[in-house]
């Protein structure tokens, strides 16, 4: 029987959150590329950011689900028997359908810009699954189960060729090297945490993230890259990218920020050849500015707008920040993003926003209660 959450949510709203990410080696987490070349140990590296996406569940009329999100107006509401699994909210209606839940309004709030190539939709999906697994599923799901469900829901709804690293960063947090092993049924990935809490603090001092002011859509660019790889035209370049990202991971693990910057520059040089459409003019300019400052820089996700990030020694990063601020000053919505590495992990810790019950607002205060 479908489960109405209206009464439960009338007593307590539910909130869950997850972090977005920046990355290197992305596209190798797509099964069409990784699985045939599993023997070469395809990897990606990603860094979770404390720009978190939150999902709030509130009461709504029985038999209906309503979804609203920052940057997507107006929201949409549908009967539980007619939930559309198409954009813009199909991914989240699919999660509601999976848990057979209704009588709820789902509000998505993001601390990162909309369509900024920081993995926002995947992050929101992870947060939603965290919340629904408890209030509709009856128990909290393990990190691996959340990752498995989030990836397969998005891959299925998108028609395939969906990567998994965005969901992985949202679930586990921190700074990670991921080896993708889709051919192994019980262990489709191996995660190596590259930095402990102190190392993450040191990286945060040497990290710069900016939004270009231009939104992006990843599906078209990703599809083109995969086609080039599968046809063999660009495959040798992608294999070189994988080798470079191994070296980048090692440099980060060893806290060797200068070498890390160099390897990120090397990956970017190959990306210019393999994925030229990812570099819109302002991002091309800012990447060049980073390299001139002695830093390594890369567009986030599939690029073609969205965000970019840089790594380097603290002095170089501070100088680059001033340069990027000047470059972005005339760009509407363009800005440096105030963020650090998000070290909270569902596996090891829980922060109050990860999964919390919130009493409806009465008077001046709103109380949070852990589930």
Whole-angstrom Cα distance, residue 235 to residue 232?
5
**C-alpha closest to that of 110 among 369, 350, 367, 337:** 337
- Give the rounded percent of residues in the chain with a pLDDT score beyond 90: 77
Is residue 23 within 8 Å of residue 44, measured between CB atoms?
yes
Please report, for the domain that includes residue 273, its CATH number: 3.30.230.120
- Predicted pLDDT of residue 114: 87
Q: Model confidence at 238, in pLDDT bands (50, 70, 90)?
A: very high
Other CB atoms within a 10 A radius of the CB of residue 144 amount to: 15
Q: Please report, for the chain, how many H helices and E strands are present, in that order.
A: 12, 15
Q: What is the mean pLDDT of residues 147-162?
A: 92
Higher per-residue pLDDT: 370 or 300: 300
- Predicted pLDDT of residue 369: 28
Burial 229-246 (b: 16+ CB within 10 A, else e): beeeebeeebebbbebbb
Q: Model confidence at 346, in pLDDT bands (50, 70, 90)?
A: low
- Does the pLDDT value for residue 350 go beyond 50? no
pLDDT digits (tens, 9 = 90+) for 8-32: 999 989 999 999 999 999 899 999 9
Q: Which domain holds residue 76?
A: 3-370
**Can you say whether residue 189 is alpha, beta or left, with left for phi > 0 and alpha for psi between -120 and 50 degrees?**
beta
Q: How many domains does the chain have?
A: 1
Q: Model confidence at 128, in pLDDT bands (50, 70, 90)?
A: very high
- Predicted pLDDT of residue 217: 67
Is residue 313 within 8 Å of residue 12, measured between CB atoms?
no
- Does the pLDDT value for residue 363 go beyond 50? no
- Predicted pLDDT of residue 70: 83
pTM recorded for the entire structure: 0.91
Q: What is the mean pLDDT of residues 270-281?
A: 92
Q: Model confidence at 358, in pLDDT bands (50, 70, 90)?
A: low
Tokens standing for residue 332 = 């509407």
- Predicted pLDDT of residue 364: 29
Which of the listed ranges 12-26, 138-152, 219-233 does the model predict with the highest average pLDDT?
Answer: 12-26
- Predicted pLDDT of residue 250: 98
Cα dihedral: 143, 14, 211, 21 (round 10) = -10
């Amino acid at each position: 029987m479908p489960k109405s959450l209206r009464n439960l949510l009338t007593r307590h709203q539910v909130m869950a959150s997850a972090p977005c990410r920046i990355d290197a080696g992305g596209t190798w987490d797509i099964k069409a590329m990784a699985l045939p070349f599993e023997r070469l140990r395809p990897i990606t590296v990603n860094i979770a950011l404390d720009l978190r996406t939150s999902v709030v569940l509130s009461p709504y009329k029985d038999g209906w689900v309503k979804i609203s999100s920052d940057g997507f107006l107006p929201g949409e509401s549908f009967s539980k028997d007619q939930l559309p699994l198409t954009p813009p909210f199909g991914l989240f209606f699919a999660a509601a359908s999976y848990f057979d839940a209704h009588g709820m309004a789902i509000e998505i709030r993001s601390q990162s810009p909309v369509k900024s190539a920081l993995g926002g939709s995947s992050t929101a999906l992870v947060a939603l699954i965290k919340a629904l697994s408890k209030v509709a599923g009856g128990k909290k799901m393990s990190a691996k189960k959340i990752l498995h469900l989030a990836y397969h829901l998005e891959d299925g709804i998108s028609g395939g060729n969906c990567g998994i690293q965005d969901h992985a960063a949202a679930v586990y947090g921190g700074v990670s090297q991921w080896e993708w092993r889709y051919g192994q049924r019980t262990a489709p990935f191996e995660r190596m945490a590259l930095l402990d809490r102190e190392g993450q603090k040191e990286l945060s001092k040497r990290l710069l993230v900016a939004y270009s002011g231009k939104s992006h859509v990843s599906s078209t660019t990703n599809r083109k890259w995969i086609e080039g790889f599968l046809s063999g035209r660009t495959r040798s370049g992608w294999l070189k990218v994988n080798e470079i990202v191994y070296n980048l991971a090692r440099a980060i693990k060893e806290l060797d920020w200068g070498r890390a910057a160099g390897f990120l520059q090397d990956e970017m040089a190959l990306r210019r050849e393999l994925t030229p459409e990812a570099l819109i003019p302002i991002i091309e300019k800012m990447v060049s500015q980073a390299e001139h400052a002695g830093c390594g820089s890369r567009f986030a996700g599939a690029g073609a707008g969205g965000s970019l990030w840089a790594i380097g020694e603290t002095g170089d990063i501070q100088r680059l920040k001033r340069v990027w601020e000047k470059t972005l000053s005339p760009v509407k919505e363009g800005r440096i993003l105030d963020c650090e590495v998000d070290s909270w992990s569902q596996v090891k810790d829980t922060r109050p926003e990860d999964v919390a019950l919130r009493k409806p607002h009465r008077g001046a205060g709103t109380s949070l209660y852990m589930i």
